[in-house]
A = this chain, B = another copy of it.
């Protein structure tokens, strides 16, 4: 099979690899669509993300959908031909975190495109059958691939406890912020404001349901029950928490530039604000599929480009070079 391999920072080479064989309870999936994530771009540019270092050739890509091409022994949940979306991290299922239902924090998770585990910018990938979810016919392969970033948004809204009638502030209108915004609406939020410096993205936000868009640093957000911070900018964190009502919640999704950050502690304390962050997601795929299949979110709206597998490097570059780019898809 073909695979787009990160050979070193800044270089993607299309290589021939042996098609993997599915083991017991695993399925082989012919990949049809893969979304490019900011983490893919970061690995491509820097060869690492914090403690995760690419020391050997690595296949990137972890937002993926395709068709089951073969099944391993004991597989009961899928058959050849099933259209599926892939939850990219398979946890151990036994550790303290897994047992508690927090499998996103499993220290032994095997996660696509996280060194040294290969991802899905390739013709095929194998995955445990329980982490392949059947796609309804009404959902395209592209939408199927985007169940992954949609999961990030669902997890953030769950952590924040977003519910009907809530007022939500989303800071940062990148792919994640834009999805969080849609998800907040799908959770019933009736005031969803989103801020960014990129007015093209704000216009997209407005088209996909934002009740108000804010130019960062210029417009003041309204009081919010919940902040979901998706920019990673320290200033956005502080300003965002400033908008949260007493006893509200701030969920930090965007990773910042450094290990530590300045928070408005006096406000957090005297107003009993809850602050937390998210790391991936757990138990979100069925919800993601249900929301997409019922038209509660519009994922096609954020797709701005399509690339063939042999143009994966272009797909990784376009995000930086084109301010109008939001989410680009690679098609093996």
Chain A interfacial positions (CB closer than 8 Å to B): 50, 92-105, 128, 130, 154, 157-159, 163-165, 183, 186-188, 190-191, 237-238, 246-247, 252-253, 255-256, 258-279, 282-283, 286-288, 290-291, 293-294, 296
Query: Inside 8 A of A103's CB, which chain B residues have their CB?
Result: 99
Are A105 and B190 touching (Cβ within 8 A)? no
Are B278 and A272 touching (Cβ within 8 A)? yes
- 21 residue pairs from A and B, CB less than 8 Å apart: A95-B130, A99-B283, A102-B247, A158-B163, A159-B272, A164-B188, A164-B291, A165-B287, A165-B288, A186-B188, A190-B296, A259-B267, A260-B265, A260-B266, A269-B276, A272-B276, A272-B277, A272-B278, A273-B276, A273-B277, A275-B276
User: Of B190, B279, B290, B296, which contacts A269 at CB under 8 A?
Assistant: B279
Are A269 and B260 touching (Cβ within 8 A)? no
Are B128 and A94 touching (Cβ within 8 A)? yes
User: What is the oligomeric copy number?
Assistant: 4
Are A269 and B265 touching (Cβ within 8 A)? no
Are A282 and B99 touching (Cβ within 8 A)? yes
Are A275 and B268 touching (Cβ within 8 A)? yes
State A98–B187 Cα separation when bound (angstroms): 25
Are A165 and B291 touching (Cβ within 8 A)? yes
What's the least CB distance linking A15 to chain B, in Å? Answer: 31
Are A98 and B105 touching (Cβ within 8 A)? no
Query: Inside 8 A of A283's CB, which chain B residues have their CB?
Result: 96, 99-100
Are A261 and B259 touching (Cβ within 8 A)? no
Are A252 and B272 touching (Cβ within 8 A)? no
**Given A99-B283, A100-B101, A190:B268 Cβ within 8 A:** no
Query: Inside 8 A of A99's CB, which chain B residues have their CB?
Result: 101, 103, 282-283
Query: Inside 8 A of A256's CB, which chain B residues have their CB?
Result: 265-266
